[in-house]
């Protein structure tokens, strides 16, 4: 096992707002809205700040059990020797994913003590679609109907 070229120095939450909607339907899945903001440290091009803002919303016409907003900030360092042109994509995809995991755990902890069943965020990717490998049509694990060409 090798260390990642992206190291998390620290992270913290700047906003944690969660509303338990007593008139909500616990079977209603939330819609997620994520926004990622990146900044390079002044004077050190290997240090980055990533802010992930996640909104937990009710879908149109329905009321979910929980709604709210959580913001997480992460301070990261890219390893020496990592190519300069690959730093930003590394930080954007992996930094956001690390913060998303932290938000997932915070949300699960908070909703475990609420009136509705706990909320476990689904897995997502922050890798841009053009960078992701595309599934092959012959894959026995995927239905041909699910493969977009």
Domain boundaries, the chain: 6-118
Residue 142 has what pLDDT? 40
Residue 144 has what pLDDT? 41
Q: Which residues of the chain are under the pLDDT cut of 50? A: 138-149
User: Do 8 and 76 form a contact (C-beta atoms < 8 A)?
Assistant: yes
Residue 51 has what pLDDT? 97
Residue 145 has what pLDDT? 42
Residue that is written with structure tokens 């301070």 in the block: 75
Residue 136 has what pLDDT? 54
Residue 132 has what pLDDT? 57
Residue 68, number of CB atoms within 10 A of its CB? 20
Residue 25 has what pLDDT? 92
Residue 93 has what pLDDT? 93
User: Do 72 and 13 form a contact (C-beta atoms < 8 A)?
Assistant: yes
What CATH homologous superfamily does 6-118 map to?
Answer: SecB-like (3.10.420.10)
Residue 27 has what pLDDT? 87
Q: How far apart are CA 101 and CA 46, in angstroms?
A: 23
Residue 29, number of CB atoms within 10 A of its CB? 13
Q: Which residues of 78-90 are buried (b: 16+ CB within 10 A; e: fewer)?
A: beeeeeeeebeeb
Distance, CA of 10 to chain centre: 16
């Amino acid at each position: 096992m090798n260390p990642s070229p992206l190291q998390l120095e620290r992270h913290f939450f700047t906003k944690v707002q969660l509303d338990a909607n007593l008139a909500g339907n616990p079977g209603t899945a939330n819609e997620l809205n994520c926004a990622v903001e990146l900044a390079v440290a002044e004077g050190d091009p290997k240090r980055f700040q990533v802010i992930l803002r996640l909104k937990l919303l009710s879908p149109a016409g329905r009321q979910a059990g929980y709604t709210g907003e959580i913001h997480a900030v992460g301070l990261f360092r890219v390893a020496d020797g990592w190519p300069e042109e690959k730093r930003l994509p590394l930080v954007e995809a992996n930094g956001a994913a690390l913060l998303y995991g932290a938000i997932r755990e915070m949300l699960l902890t908070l909703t475990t003590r609420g009136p509705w069943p706990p909320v476990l965020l689904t897995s997502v990717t922050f890798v841009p679609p053009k960078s992701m490998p595309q599934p092959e049509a012959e894959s026995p694990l995927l239905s041909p109907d699910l493969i977009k060409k």
